[in-house]
């Protein structure tokens, strides 16, 4: 799922106050009489109303806070309604927009609807017409939000079923997911890259009482110190240069749901401190704000790093480590559960055949044999990519060894039989023992460093973690 951080809004009634206070409506029209009468009418109904005589003036209102509903004249001098609508969509993707048009400009109204306006109304109209249009538009918006919420849930459910595996290590993981899902405990998911850590986090959320609320994903590895607080806790308008609008942070968006902190082993010491505080206090303050907001979240974190070693060498806070390490789920590498390879292969094969609308394909026994012998440093993700690639390049009705990415290259591990295979395995082993100290490894191999570099390049050897 892409950054699904938008939480489902609380339902907004057909009219009158909704959300956290009265609904806010902005009316934009160059005719004063229209502005005045709409303002009077909406205020009588209990809405907060802003009016602007043109697009340019409307933009200053946009910067001023949240608006739920916009009523725009399509034909105005300067910036017309269509252009304004685009600007509004950028600032408030979920806002309801209604276009007012004169009989002669129905074409523009149609264009506006294509670009996401909810409805239009022809001038002149009486208040009853407008009320009906507003009610319908709000009801449709609620329906859209409901759909979006349901769709997210269905995807999450489906993803749980996606954890494929019959081997006992993966069955143990599934058992643990089921029992931990019911609790609110912090969960730390560990395992090599591509073993399915994110899948597990989503499954826990999907099976918890929080499943109707969002799971917010934070890639901690990509959080520079300068933006940590505004990303996690949000900011008020004007908190810093460029903070044009108030914005909620990840923790606030996760309120009632779960927050998944991915790559937790890669965070700076500043971020570690910030996280420790929010885990303890369960409160946040937006940057530039002075109100503390309490947030109710379930924390799931993941890492492929050796946190214990990091604690020992002082690069990961011990207190944070203990807060995170309440329940740990260890994802087995694919190497440790090779019996799942045929099942996973079948699963991905079906998925890609369906996605690419291709007729059925099977793996030749020799190709399956290669899959079973491969070492899978990239785990399930590597297997998934290999299957996708095979489906794309396979010409016949059987996937052959040559359709696999590692067919030509020597297999990692003890699989290959050529001299080059043996050399590669040996060089890799010596490098590992020497902790990739090139001079030391070259001495052990009794070759010079340039020759060693050439072999590293030829066999595509990679220092772990690079
Ligand atoms: N048991 C599984 N069954 C089916 N698909 C899986 C399984 N495990 C992982 N996958 C798939 O493999 C890919 C990698 O999984 P995921 O992103 O959860 O791994 P990860 O451990 O978070 O990796 P990284 O550490 O690199 O972020 C995803 O496309 C996921 O759907
Ligand atoms: Mg991941």
Numbers of helices and strands, H then E, in the chain: 18, 16
Parallel, antiparallel, or unpaired: how do β-strands 298-303 and 119-122 relate?
unpaired
pLDDT tens readout for residues 386-431: 999 899 888 889 999 999 987 655 444 444 567 777 788 889 889 9
For the segment 182-209, the average pLDDT, to the nearest whole number, is 94
For the segment 337-349, the average pLDDT, to the nearest whole number, is 92
CB 400 within 8 A of CB 364: yes
Residue of the CA atom closest to atom 30 of ligand 1: 196
CA of 199 to the centre of ligand 1 (A): 6
Q: Is 145 in the pocket of ligand 1 (CB under 6 A)?
A: no
Q: Is 410 in the pocket of ligand 1 (CB under 6 A)?
A: no
Query: How far is CA 308 from each of CA 292, 311, 316, 368, rounded to the nearest angstrom?
Result: 33, 5, 8, 38
User: What is the structure's pLDDT at 416?
Assistant: 56
User: What is the structure's pLDDT at 152?
Assistant: 59
pLDDT tens readout for residues 273-324: 999 999 999 999 999 999 999 999 999 999 999 999 999 999 999 999 999 9
**Ligand lying nearest the CA atom of residue 201:** 1
- State which ligand 1 atom lies nearest to the alpha carbon of 189: 21
Q: Is 162 in the pocket of ligand 1 (CB under 6 A)?
A: yes
Q: Is 303 in the pocket of ligand 1 (CB under 6 A)?
A: no
1: DSSP letter: -
Spatial neighbors of 395 by CB under 8 A, at least 6 apart, are none
CA of 381 to the centre of ligand 2 (A): 10
State the Cα–Cα distance between residues 388 and 405, nearest whole angstrom: 11
For the segment 169-192, the average pLDDT, to the nearest whole number, is 94
Query: How far is CA 173 from each of CA 162, 205, 263, rounded to the nearest angstrom?
Result: 13, 15, 20
User: What is the structure's pLDDT at 119?
Assistant: 87
Q: What domains lie within the chain, and their CATH numbers? A: 24-146 (3.40.50.2300), 162-330 (3.40.50.300), 334-403 (1.10.8.60), 417-458 (1.10.10)
User: What is the structure's pLDDT at 384?
Assistant: 95
Higher pLDDT, 234 or 13: 234
- State which ligand 1 atom lies nearest to the alpha carbon of 159: 31
User: What is the structure's pLDDT at 10?
Assistant: 33
Mean pLDDT score of the chain, rounded to an integer? 85
The pTM for the full model equals 0.59
For the segment 96-108, the average pLDDT, to the nearest whole number, is 81
In 45-192, alpha helices (H): 55-62, 81-91, 106-114, 127-161, 168-181
**Least confidently predicted of 214-228, 267-281, 312-326:** 214-228
For the segment 248-260, the average pLDDT, to the nearest whole number, is 94
Q: Is the per-residue pLDDT at 93 higher than 70? A: yes
Q: Is the per-residue pLDDT at 71 higher than 70? A: yes
User: What is the structure's pLDDT at 433?
Assistant: 86
Q: Is 386 in the pocket of ligand 1 (CB under 6 A)?
A: no
Q: Is 284 in the pocket of ligand 1 (CB under 6 A)?
A: no
User: What is the structure's pLDDT at 11?
Assistant: 33
**Least confidently predicted of 6-20, 86-100, 215-229:** 6-20
Q: How confident is the model at residue 2 (pLDDT cuts 50, 70, 90)?
A: very low
pLDDT tens readout for residues 3-55: 333 333 333 333 333 345 688 999 999 999 999 999 998 898 888 999 999 99
Q: Is 198 in the pocket of ligand 1 (CB under 6 A)?
A: yes
CB 361 within 8 A of CB 368: no
User: What is the structure's pLDDT at 465?
Assistant: 66
- The partner residues of 328 in beta bridges, in order of sequence, read 188
């Amino acid at each position: 799922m892409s950054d699904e951080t938008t939480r489902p809004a609380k339902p907004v009634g057909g009219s009158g106050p909704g959300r956290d206070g009265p609904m806010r409506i902005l009316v934009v029209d160059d005719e004063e009489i229209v502005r005045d009468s709409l303002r009077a009418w909406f205020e009588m109904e209990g809405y907060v109303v802003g009016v602007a005589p043109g697009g340019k003036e409307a933009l200053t209102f946009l910067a001023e806070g949240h608006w739920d509903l916009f009523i725009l004249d399509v034909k105005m001098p300067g910036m017309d309604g269509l252009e304004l609508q685009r600007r509004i969509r950028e600032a408030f993707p979920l806002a309801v927009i209604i276009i007012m048009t004169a009989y002669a400009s129905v074409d523009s109204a149609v264009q506006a609807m294509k670009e996401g306006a909810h409805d239009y109304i022809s001038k002149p109209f009486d208040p009853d017409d407008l009320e009906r249009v507003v009610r319908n538009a709000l009801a449709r918006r609620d329906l859209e939000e409901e759909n979006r919420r349901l769709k997210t849930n269905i995807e999450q459910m489906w993803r749980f079923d996606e954890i494929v595996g019959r081997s006992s290590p993966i069955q143990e993981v599934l058992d643990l997911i089921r029992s931990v899902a019911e609790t609110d405990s912090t969960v730390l998911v560990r395992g090599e890259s591509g073993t399915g850590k994110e899948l597990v986090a989503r499954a826990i959320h999907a099976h918890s009482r929080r499943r109707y609320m969002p799971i917010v994903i934070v890639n901690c590895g990509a959080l520079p110190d300068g933006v940590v607080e505004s990303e996690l806790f949000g900011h008020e308008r004007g908190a810093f240069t460029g903070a044009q609008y108030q914005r909620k942070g990840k923790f606030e968006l996760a309120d009632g749901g779960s927050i998944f902190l991915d790559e937790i082993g890669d965070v700076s010491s500043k971020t570690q401190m910030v996280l420790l505080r929010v885990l303890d206090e369960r409160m946040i303050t937006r940057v530039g704000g002075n109100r503390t907001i309490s947030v109710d979240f379930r924390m799931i974190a993941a890492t492929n790093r050796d946190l214990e070693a990091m604690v020992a060498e002082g690069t990961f806070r011990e207190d944070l480590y203990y807060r995170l390490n309440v329940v740990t789920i260890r994802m087995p590498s694919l190497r440790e559960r090779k019996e799942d390879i045929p099942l996973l292969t079948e699963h991905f094969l079906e998925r890609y055949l369906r996605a690419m609308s291709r007729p059925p394909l099977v793996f030749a026994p020799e190709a399956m044999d290669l899959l079973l012998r491969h070492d899978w440093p990239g785990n399930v993700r590597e297997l998934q990519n290999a299957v996708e690639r095979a489906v794309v390049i396979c010409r016949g009705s059987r996937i052959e060894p040559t359709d696999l990415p590692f067919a030509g290259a020597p297999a990692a591990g003890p699989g290959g039989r050529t001299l080059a295979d043996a050399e590669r395995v040996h060089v890799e082993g010596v490098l590992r023992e020497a902790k990739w100290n090139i001079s030391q490894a070259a001495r052990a191999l009794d070759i010079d460093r340039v020759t060693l570099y050439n072999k590293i390049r030829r066999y595509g050897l990679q220092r772990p973690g690079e």
